[in-house]
A and B are shown apart, each in its own frame.
Chain A
Amino acid sequence: MSALLQPALAAGSAETAGHYAAASGSLSGLWLLIALPLLGAAILLLGGRRTNTWGPYLGCATVGIAFVYGLVSFFTLRGQTDRAVDLHLWTWIPVNSFHVDAGLLYDPLSSTFVLLITGVGFLIHVYSLGYMAHDPRRRLFFAYLNLFVAAMLLLVLGDSFLALYVGWEGVGLASYLLIAFWFYKPTAATAAKKAFIANRVGDVGLSIAIMVMFTTLGTTSFAGVFSNAGHLTTAAATAIGLLLLLGACGKSGQFPLHTWLPDAMEGPTPVSALIHAATMVTAGVYLIARSTPIFDHTDTARLVVSIIGAVTLLIGCIIGCAQDDIKKVLAYSTVSQIGYMFLAVGIPGAAAIAILHLLTHGFFKACMFLSAGSIMHAMNEEVDMRRYGGLRTVMPITFACFTAGYLAIIGLPPFSGFFSKDKIIEAAYDEGGVRGWTLGTIALVGAALTAYYMTRLMAMTFFGERRWADDAHPHESPLVMTGPMMLLAVGSVVAGFLLTLGGALQHWLEPSVGPGHEVGIHTISPIVLTLLTLLVVAGGVVAAWVQFGRRPVPRTAPVAVTSVTLAARRALYFDALNESVLMRPGQYLTRALVYLDNRGIDGAVNALAAGIGGGSGRLRRLQNGFVRSYALTMFGGAALVVAALLAVRLGS
């Protein structure tokens, strides 16, 4: 399939470093997309208190303008024949054959991401005006959000793996800063650190992948690597693929590096919506979709991507069923939905479907997170769903928005999730054989579980009796918050339909990720599969409704539960495992080494020094009359030099 991607690259494939057409016209200002939010962040960070009053509005404005410019660029790209343009900015790292340019690649894939990031980003910025209105440090909040948007845009616009890496760690930094925004809470600080470290583990994979690319192909630019992907041996392609996957797992919260994502909910809710649901955590999917030409040479790595996705989607679903914290449920839901994307992006020709799900998920998950934020705002920051109930009537707009997101995620037609999730299940089954049946069935089971835990969330939050704390007086949020929620709700309803109308997204993305997989004979006919999916979804909904909608919900979590529920509540013991396998031994190792370094190596050297110096008494005397002794030593040394040199001179 890499041959099919060749037209995207300009002629001259005989050269090792392929290249894209140069950006011109209105596209030559693409750097502004990144520069605008970066400037916003810089002004807010350096401007100090002077910017307190207007700073948040500036933060919104930079992203809003970037969105408008993103739209203009999108239509410019659509209007021209070259569907991939490169903007060379400057020479970044030139050391002989290792030559990295700072440049941007604007193609259908990156243009799609630009719209998602700036569009959803802008809405969430506006929402934050209301959500963070009473926080004395909101100027910094907007600075960090702007920084995030800039880094995320660099991630999707960079034209080399190294430029991507800068954005990749940049979003990690912004994520750290925002999770730890309320740094005085130890839990927030710990969660932020955990997120950064888990990401760094993934980054090791990404950096080594880049090193392998340079060692084997002598380049790290997308153009160079992809046009030479044909030279890769299967082993090299598999190695690169798996290393990239490690990076993707870290960033996207996939098994086994998924445990940081639920903890990241310590950050303010707009952060959870933007970074930990709609955009940053999907960067792993972007990375793998972007690297399609490499994955085309390694079936093994593709399979592993799908398996990781399948495992993660199950883990996320199972844990999500037992959580009582509304944000944790949504977080595990994100983990699991990104699992779907990984499952899809691993399937040959299904990358566009993964991106489709990424986009629809961006809408409905952001919508649900912002609605959850609206609820927390109304309930004195309460997150325990056992203390909710009956909110349907007091917060009608929030309820309506959340419902739109809910119907989208469980995949009810014609809501957006139906179009994307259904396609993933179909693509999985169409793989055929054991692989297809296993992946497809996992995806199907996941759909049922998703319906279950989301219905549970709806029932516990919006229906049933009011189990509120005594001082809770819930009220609907102001327009500055509900406005963005409603727009995202509209997106949750229509995005799937619009994006698949006439295969729109599929065709649009073809120059970037290759053509879709044409299947002659489906494993299961799509109509049957759709009906089957709807059936299991209905099963999940009914089961949850019977359990949580029809019966009263206890205000505290029941103690007498099955071991499965207990395991799910404890997040399947992954944290305990990390603690006992990595953290504790690490601490012991560190302590032992500190001891050894003081007693062992340093002690040995000290003893040696004392021995040479004629016992420790000599050492002590050195410390007392140190000036004289030192001068003497120096003088003696110098005399020795001269004498020795003269001796040599005379001797020869």
Chain B
Amino acid sequence: MSSFPWLTTIGVVPLIGALVVSALPRNRPQLAKQVALAVSLLVLVLTIVMCAGFEAKGPRFQFVQAHDWIPAFGAQYAVGVDGIALVLIALVAVLVPVVLLASWYDADPTPHPMAGELTEGAEIVDPPKRGVKTFFALMLVLETMMIGVFAATDVFLFYVFFEAMLIPMYFIIGSYGGPKRSYAAVKFLLYSLFGGLLMLAAVIGLYVASANQGLGTFSFDKLTQLEFSHSTQIWLFLGFFIAFAIKAPLFPFHTWLPDAGAEAPVGGAVLLVGVLDKVGTFGFLRYCLPLFPYASRTLAPYIIVLCIIGVLYGALLAMGQKDLKRLVSYTSIAHFGFIGLGCFAFTTQAATGAVLYMVNHGLSTGALFLVIGFLVARGRSRLVGDYSGIANVAPVLAGLFFVSGLSSLALPGLSTFVSEFLVLVGSFTRYPVAAVLATIGIILAALYILLVFQRTMQGPLAAAYTQMRDLQFREVLVVAPLIALMLFLGFYPKPLTDVITPAVNATMQDVGVKDPAPTLLSHSTTQRR
């Protein structure tokens, strides 16, 4: 089994699915949806089987495959996963079927079946959408790209996926989004292309630098063994870093996200914030740190400052938002600050926490976006101020909103707490001031969640929504697995930490840092442990 090309299979299946879906007759939208969902479930099953075969104590990269691709400049089709990439691919596999089921009616030309009567002033008039099957095909294409970007172990291949990923997302936002979708899609594209351009320059530079050492290569394994001069490292690091920081997004590269997150259809927003953005923070750990250890160590304190600003700034802005989807986008900016802090604090606890955070944030923000999507589909408004007392008529919706909110504010018992605390405790051992400032973020998180919950769900019922229907079975089915996963991983994160920690240990070794020892225990006692 070990020689079975797992990653290629998992990557190709959705692409084939996309072709099948787009080949289906235009007048059978229902079939297109069902096929797409079935394909995504197949990918999920395959991924689960693959994950079961991953050996936590085995080699760093597993399910490895490498074939020459463009021999002229040493580019390979090389894939393989370490524990970090593995859990992110698993996240993709879990989220895509959830998102497809949640988006069941989102691409339909007819009004949403749950939508209430239009009320004066509280309405969103969506521009016409492209076809149903195109939407579902695009989602599957996107899944291929997302798997590919995490699986690539060749820097050039990674770059190709990194850029190609934009195309389906661009169309998903631009063709199926809200009223300002064109603006949001173009803004998303321009930002990403700008970052991509910088990365391209850095990728080329990396090749040149490796060629100068007599080994022109894009192979991650070979590149980590090279030692670049300090100035080369700094420049190349910056190229990669800015591209990733835009993608993540870190403050101050964040302004595209609120627009994209708000205008994208809900399913697109979940994948955008839940997965695509993680490519940025994944890139920090996979490429910035191991390839440019000197630059990472030198620049880390400055980056941590940006991350802390992001944590506080994102939270404060989330509080001030009037649009529900923008609000969630800003909470994500705060969360990405935490993830960035975890990546650059250089302790195994913080970095493991950061990776866990990437997974948990995907689940948590996914759930939050989905529930808000259900609300907006019913109320036809994204504005916080249009809602009030919804819990009176839709207690299940309100309950799921609340639980998703709790996961966003990292309540202990939910998985987000484990990751957030690991980031904080791991950062504290090296950067106590930064960790303390970030900890203030947990107060702000409670504020932005409880404020919006109070404004929309509690209090007297808004007159316009007395007829609002509670969630359907399909909708509960969509969010329930996410919440169940968060609860399970909140009490038993070991299956994830067991595979993440070895990969993180290897990364920290590449950077050349060790966890600080307990400061007040004598050296001898520390060693005896």
Contact = CB atoms under 8 A, between A and B. Distances in A.
Interface of A: 14-17, 90-98, 102, 162, 165-166, 168-170, 173, 176, 180, 183-186, 189-190, 193, 196-197, 200-201, 203-204, 207-208, 210-212, 214-219, 228, 231-233, 236, 589-591, 593-594, 597, 601-602, 605-606, 609, 613, 619, 622-623, 626, 630, 633-634, 637, 640-641, 644-646, 648-649, 652
Nearest to B450: A193
A533 to B, nearest CB: 41
B114 interface: no
B190 A93 contact: no
B517 A218 contact: yes
Interface in B415-436: 417-418, 421-422, 424-426, 428-429, 432, 435-436
B154 to A, nearest CB: 13
A652 B391 CA distance: 68
Contacts of B454: 189-190, 193
A626 B446 CA distance: 41
Interface residues of B, number: 90
A93 B428 contact: no
A446 to B, nearest CB: 31
Contacts of B488: none
Contacts of A102: 491
Interface string B316-347: 11011100000000000000000000000000
10 contacts: A16-B526, A93-B493, A95-B501, A97-B518, A170-B413, A183-B389, A204-B439, A208-B428, A590-B319, A649-B216
A42 B183 CA distance: 46
Given A193-B454, A215-B429, A648-B207, A207 B421 contact: yes
Contacts of A98: 349, 422, 425-426
Interface of B is mostly: helix
A211 B425 contact: yes
Interface of B: 72-73, 163, 167, 170, 174, 182-183, 185-187, 189-191, 193-194, 196-197, 200, 204, 207-208, 211-212, 216, 252, 255, 313, 316-317, 319-321, 348-349, 352-353, 389, 391-392, 406, 411-413, 417-418, 421-422, 424-426, 428-429, 432, 435-436, 439-440, 442-443, 446-447, 450-451, 454, 457-461, 491-494, 497-498, 501, 505, 515-522, 525-526, 528-529
Given A214-B429, A619-B186, A649-B72, A93 B497 contact: yes
Contacts of B429: 211, 214-215
Contacts of A190: 454
Given A593-B316, A594-B321, A648-B207, A216 B494 contact: no
B266 to A, nearest CB: 22
B505 A96 contact: yes
Given A211-B428, A644-B204, A204 B518 contact: no
A596 B439 CA distance: 24
Given A203-B442, A208-B436, A215-B429, A184 B459 contact: yes
A217 B518 contact: yes
Nearest to A45: B399
A98 B492 CA distance: 15
Nearest to A598: B255
A57 B349 CA distance: 45
B412 A165 contact: yes
Contact of A166 (B197, B211, B412): B412
A90 B185 CA distance: 47
Given A96-B505, A637-B196, A646-B72, A626 B185 contact: yes
Given A196-B446, A200-B446, A215-B432, 8 more contacts: A14-B525, A17-B529, A166-B412, A183-B458, A184-B458, A189-B458, A216-B519, A630-B167
Contacts of B446: 196-197, 200
B316 A590 contact: yes
A593 B442 contact: no
B281 to A, nearest CB: 18
Contacts of A185: 459
Nearest to B498: A94
A184 B163 CA distance: 49
Nearest to B174: A626
A207 B435 CA distance: 11
Contacts of A236: 520
A177 B432 CA distance: 34
A55 B474 CA distance: 27
- 8 tightest CB-CB pairs across the interface, nearest first? A218-B518, A189-B458, A594-B320, A211-B428, A590-B320, A602-B255, A166-B412, A216-B520
Contact of B317 (A165, A183, A233, A597): A597
